[in-house]
Amino acid sequence: MSSLVGLDALLREFEERKMRALARAISWAESGRGAELIRHVYARAGRAMTIGLTGPPGVGKSTLSAAIVRKARSVGKTVGVISVDPSSPFSHGALLGDRIRLTEHFVDPDVFIRSMASRGHLGGVAGATADAALLMDAFGIDVILIETVGVGQSEIEIAELAQKTLVALQPGSGDSVQVLKAGIMEIADIFVVNKADHPMANQMRREIRSMMEMLHFTGWVPELVMTQALSGQGIDELWEAIAAHVAFLNETGEIEEKRREAFVHQVKQLALGELQHKLDRELEARADVGLDPYAAAERVLLEFGMHGHERYEHARPNRARATVKGL
Ligand code: GDP
């Protein structure tokens, strides 16, 4: 029924910090109607700490989420959790059903839990997630946890929306090989070896340590924390590692860079979404008979006002966070 509620009424409730206004605001954004809303509340964002949590299914991410929420609440922080499954077009029901471990927090008015879909959002699920994080931030939530289901490329991208990324792994699963393969090493600010009660836990820790020894880090050196999410063991240490990373970001001024990256990322998602629509419409409506694909691409881009090869000149390489020693 959100369409029956006007923007003014929604903004008023948002300012009064009514949770249902936040829920509604995210739904608006999710379905592609977030622009005006975000224009109004944007100035209030920029205070929250955002944490990405990624790792293979079954590693214990939702158990870890619940434990992190518990810890954050115990030190008086308000918390938002965004569960993201980029492969699923469905939101609420299915995913939240799985997120049963968060149920203890459902009744806490200072914990806001949301699963994401991309219905109609210009920037897809990453765009919808970025909006949800921004809205939670503007709403005044202190800690925003973005939990993704796996370690594919889109999960990495979504986790990177956050100021810090926790990569969860479990012993005895061959995950460490996966870590290297998927390029996760470069995005992890904190490795969490969960299920530390497992007999292979120490071996896993050694494997990660020796992988890290092969790398030279330019700034933050990833921390490695052993946890037992079910019992809560190691969660204090994990929270300390998170705090150390926050301190590092603040002391080095890198927090500004992180905020800027998140901003640029979001702008890019939106602009790309717009361009994609425009391009699809344009290409459907025409037939570039006799043109080769390069010439046809050149022509349509020219029509969009993009001139020649200069477009490639300003491409900025990704900042390398870690390089292999000796290379
Ligand atoms: P997700 O798919 O990554 O979100 O994983 P879940 O949080 O759903 O956890 C998967 C399974 O691992 C569940 O049965 C949990 O109870 C179990 N689990 C989570 N943490 C631990 C732990 O520290 N030790 C053990 N032995 N099991 C755990």
pLDDT in tens, 3-27: 557 999 999 999 999 999 999 999 9
- The pLDDT assigned to 100 comes to 47
User: What is the chain's alpha carbon radius of gyration, rounded to the nearest angstrom?
Assistant: 21
Per-chain mean pLDDT for the chain:
84
Q: Residue whose CA is closest, atom 15 of ligand 1?
A: 60
- The pLDDT assigned to 210 comes to 86
For residue 221 the two structure tokens come to 């050196």
Indicate whether 142 belongs to any domain: yes
For residue 74 the two structure tokens come to 């115990």
Q: How far is the CA of 74 from the centre of ligand 1 (A)?
A: 22
Q: Is the pLDDT of residue 214 over 60?
A: yes
Indicate whether 271 belongs to any domain: no
- The pLDDT assigned to 119 comes to 64
Give the position, in ligand 1's atom list, of the atom nearest the Cα of 198: 26
- Which structural domain, as residue segments, surrounds residue 179? 45-258
Element (H, E) at 190: strand 190-193
Q: Which of 34-38, 87-91, 183-187 has the lowest mean pLDDT?
A: 87-91
- The pLDDT assigned to 185 comes to 73
- The pLDDT assigned to 255 comes to 94
Q: Is the pLDDT of residue 176 over 70?
A: no
Q: Could you tell me the CA-to-CA distances from 142 to 37, 209, 325 in Å, in that order?
A: 20, 32, 38
List the CATH number of the domain containing 249: 3.40.50.300
Q: Is the pLDDT of residue 98 over 50?
A: no
> What's the pLDDT tens digit per position in 31-65?
888 899 999 999 999 999 999 998 888 899 989 99
Q: Side chain identity at 327, as an amino acid letter?
A: L
Indicate whether 4 belongs to any domain: no
Angle between helices 19-30 and 7-15 (to 10 degrees): 130
Q: Residue whose CA is closest, atom 6 of ligand 1?
A: 60
Q: Classify residue 312 by its DSSP letter.
A: G
Q: How far is the CA of 245 from the centre of ligand 1 (A)?
A: 25
d(C-alpha 262, C-alpha 162), whole Å = 7
Select from 102, 146, 230 the residue to mutate for testing ligand 1; criterion: most ligand atoms less than 8 Å from CB.
230
- The pLDDT assigned to 155 comes to 74
- The pLDDT assigned to 308 comes to 62
Q: How far is the CA of 61 from the centre of ligand 1 (A)?
A: 7
Indicate whether 311 belongs to any domain: no
Q: Residue whose CA is closest, atom 7 of ligand 1?
A: 60
244: left (phi over 0), alpha (psi -120 to 50) or beta: alpha
| Residues in contact with 163: Cβ distance below 8 Å, sequence separation at least 6, in sequence order | 49, 50, 51, 246, 249, 255, 258, 259, 262
Q: Which of 62-71, 79-88, 206-215 has the lowest mean pLDDT?
A: 79-88
Q: Is the pLDDT of residue 107 over 90?
A: no
Residue 215 burial (CB count, 10 A):
15
| Residues in contact with 227: Cβ distance below 8 Å, sequence separation at least 6, in sequence order | 64, 67, 192, 193, 194, 196, 233, 234, 235, 237, 238
Give the position, in ligand 1's atom list, of the atom nearest the Cα of 65: 7
CB 150, CB 161: distance < 8 Å: no
pLDDT band at 314 (very low <50, low <70, confident <90, very high): low
The mean pLDDT value for 137-153 works out to 88
- Give which of 134, 80, 77 is closest to 102, Cα–Cα: 80
Of 197 and 307, the one with more pLDDT:
197
Indicate whether 50 belongs to any domain: yes
- The pLDDT assigned to 93 comes to 40
The mean pLDDT value for 95-111 works out to 62
The mean pLDDT value for 276-293 works out to 85
For residue 158 the two structure tokens come to 């979504």
Indicate whether 291 belongs to any domain: no
pLDDT band at 248 (very low <50, low <70, confident <90, very high): very high
| Residues in contact with 107: Cβ distance below 8 Å, sequence separation at least 6, in sequence order | none
- The pLDDT assigned to 75 comes to 97
Residue 5 burial (CB count, 10 A):
14
Q: Which residues line ligand 1 (CB under 6 A)?
A: 57-63, 101, 194-195, 197, 228-230
pLDDT band at 139 (very low <50, low <70, confident <90, very high): very high
Q: How far is the CA of 104 from the centre of ligand 1 (A)?
A: 16
Q: How many domains does the chain have?
A: 1
Give the position, in ligand 1's atom list, of the atom nearest the Cα of 227: 23
- The pLDDT assigned to 88 comes to 55
Q: How far is the CA of 268 from the centre of ligand 1 (A)?
A: 35
Q: Classify residue 48 by its DSSP letter.
A: -
By DSSP bridging, strand 215-217 and strand 322-324 are antiparallel
pLDDT band at 91 (very low <50, low <70, confident <90, very high): very low
Q: Residue whose CA is closest, atom 22 of ligand 1?
A: 195
- The pLDDT assigned to 285 comes to 84
Give the position, in ligand 1's atom list, of the atom nearest the Cα of 55: 3
Q: Side chain identity at 115, as an amino acid letter?
A: S
Of 183 and 6, the one with more pLDDT:
6
What 3-state DSSP class applies to 223?
strand
Q: Residue whose CA is closest, atom 24 of ligand 1?
A: 195
Q: Which of 19-28, 89-98, 246-255, 293-302 has the lowest mean pLDDT?
A: 89-98
- Give which of 100, 124, 123, 122 is closest to 113, Cα–Cα: 100
Select from 61, 63, 200 the residue to mutate for testing ligand 1; criterion: most ligand atoms less than 8 Å from CB.
63
Q: Is the pLDDT of residue 260 over 50?
A: yes
Give the position, in ligand 1's atom list, of the atom nearest the Cα of 64: 7
> What residue spans of 285-320 are helical by DSSP H?
293-303
Q: Residue whose CA is closest, atom 18 of ligand 1?
A: 60
Indicate whether 35 belongs to any domain: no
Indicate whether 190 belongs to any domain: yes
